[in-house]
Amino acid sequence: MISKKSKPGNIAEYIKAAPKGAQKKLREMHACIRAAAPRAKGSLKWGMPSFSYQRILVTFAAFKHHIGFYPTPSAVKAFEKNLSKFKTAKGSIQFPLEKPLPLSLIHKITKFRIRQSLERDGKWKS
C-alpha cells in the first residue's frame, strides 16, 4: 500500500513509494504491460498505475501481501481457467508477492483488453 503522505505524480514515483518488497514486481508488471500495449498511455487513475488506449485497459497496485491487477470483469471471466491458482474477484486478480508474476498471462490479458477497447468495451473511458 502506498503511503497517503507521499502522493506519487506518475508511475515511476508510485513504484518508488511502494514497499521495497513490492518494487521489483511492480517494475516487472509495468514493463510487461508496456510491452503488451506499447501505444497505451501510462498514468495514475484512482491513485494506481493505469494504462489507457481509447479506454482504460488495466490498472495495478501494491498491497502488503500481493499485487492487485485490475483488467475489468470481462477479462477476469475470459481467463478464469488460467487464473484458478490466484485469488480473484469480479474485476480483480491478486498475485502474491512471494511468488513469481505470471508475466505471459498478464501480457495476454492486456492484449485481450486492447482488443476489447478497439471492438466494443464502452464501460471504461479514459
0.85 surpassed by pTM: yes
Q: Based on C-alpha coordinates, what's the Rg of the chain?
A: 14
Q: Looking at the predicted structure, is the pLDDT value of residue 38 above 90?
A: yes
Domain boundaries, the chain: 11-116
Q: Between the CA atoms of 20, 22, 27 and 30, what dihedral angle is there, to the nearest 10 degrees? A: -140
Cell of 49: 498505475
Q: Looking at the predicted structure, is the pLDDT value of residue 4 above 90?
A: no
Where residue 55 falls among pLDDT bands split at 50, 70, 90? confident
Where residue 5 falls among pLDDT bands split at 50, 70, 90? low
Cell 471471466 sits at which residue?
Answer: 77
Domain 11-116 coded CATH 3.90.1150.200: yes
Q: What is the mean pLDDT of residues 64-69?
A: 95
